[in-house]
Amino acid sequence: MKSSRTLIVKERTALLRYLQSQYPETKRTALKQLLRHRAVFVNGNPVTRHDHVLEPKDRVVIERGAPAPVCKPSATMPEIVFEDRHIIVVNKPEGLLTIATEKETHRTAYRQVMAYVQEDRPHRGERIFIVHRLDRDTSGLLVFARTEEAKRAMQQNWESAEKKYYAVVEGVPREASGTIRSHLREHPKSLRMHSAPPSDEAKLAITKYLLIRSTRHFSLLEVKLETGRKNQIRAHLSEHGNPIVGDKKYDAHGNPIKRLGLHAYYLAFPHPISGKRLVFKTAIPEEFESLVNEEPGIGYRVSGFGHAKKGERIGKSRSPVETLQAKTSRMGNRRRSGIGFRVSGFGNAKKRRKER
């Protein structure tokens, strides 16, 4: 028994690219097999060339030998934060891909949210569309569109969306707040993003951070993205001496919370249809709190992004300057007892024996 799906093209594009946009969870090779087996029809005619040009209002029909299986929700289903007829916002857990890769095709946020909307309306051919992505090990707010119109509107304006993260990093930044600006490119072998001179491959990346709280060994930062490059926060914080906890790829020394210390907690953008400004927030993950609460009170209370109220303290809190002075005092005491410190990066202190 054959099943078919009919699609109406909205803009000029190549056939394979169009199929990939409609079936983001399907491998490229599988889509090419559909073409090879003459299972794709454009305006009633079978097409086998992947570079066939589609025009607006073309009718594309995909036939399959059997109905496509409907996704089933699993225990990894992200928490639904908001939904209406046009968008759906979820809180993605860490360890879950946004979209399929060659190695993992089933356990993805896309598949689980698709299963959710299909289960709700199984006979209406409900679909979702990718707007942006989060790394597998990053948790937090993720938006899917429920219509092509909403998808196009959001992607066209995504650079203007306001995105903030909580990051737990190793060490303490020397400055309580700052802006990291560089051009990032991907290393062809390690696949790490790194700063490089401006070029076609190296794109401008701007990351702002604000120190919220710190202990002797870890700091909780609020991070705001001005641009959206791959691994931007991870690369920038690592290059500035404070790698994210658990981020072995970007030089973290340990993983005390058994996960990457990065969470997309704040997202604000205009609704793609009504234009109304939407704001979504999630709480600091408990693992982050536990790591920076071992020595409560070293830090500022946050009052908006980029501002710390200098007189307002958390318990017995100290400002970053006071903290540095306290560390300097401790260093002096240790030197007198034969043990000294040398500062590495942005405040990671390492013990060494005093040279005699």
Side-chain half-sphere CA neighbours of 323 within 13 A: 27
Long-range Cβ contact pairs of 189-197 (< 8 A, separation 24 or more): 192/231, 192/235, 192/249, 192/250, 193/229, 193/230, 193/231, 193/232, 193/234, 193/235, 194/235, 194/239, 195/235, 195/239
Q: Residue 132: phi, psi to the nearest 5?
A: -155, 180
Nearest to 129 by CA among 118, 114, 145: 145
**C-alpha of 228 from chain center:** 9
Sign of CA dihedral 201, 98, 60, 83: negative
Nearest to 167 by CA among 257, 245, 252: 245
96: which 2 tokens?
A: 């879950």
Side-chain half-sphere CA neighbours of 136 within 13 A: 11
149: helix, coil or strand?
Answer: helix
Asked whether the beta carbons of 229 and 319 are under 8 A apart, the reply is no
| Interatomic CA distance for residues 94 and 257, integer angstroms | 12
279: helix, coil or strand?
Answer: strand
Active-site residue, from 58, 135, 137, 247: 135
47: which 2 tokens?
A: 């097409």
108: helix, coil or strand?
Answer: strand
Q: Residue 91: phi, psi to the nearest 5?
A: -105, 100
| Interatomic CA distance for residues 293 and 323, integer angstroms | 15
Active site residue 135: yes
| Interatomic CA distance for residues 178 and 271, integer angstroms | 30
| Interatomic CA distance for residues 139 and 279, integer angstroms | 18
Catalytic positions are: 135
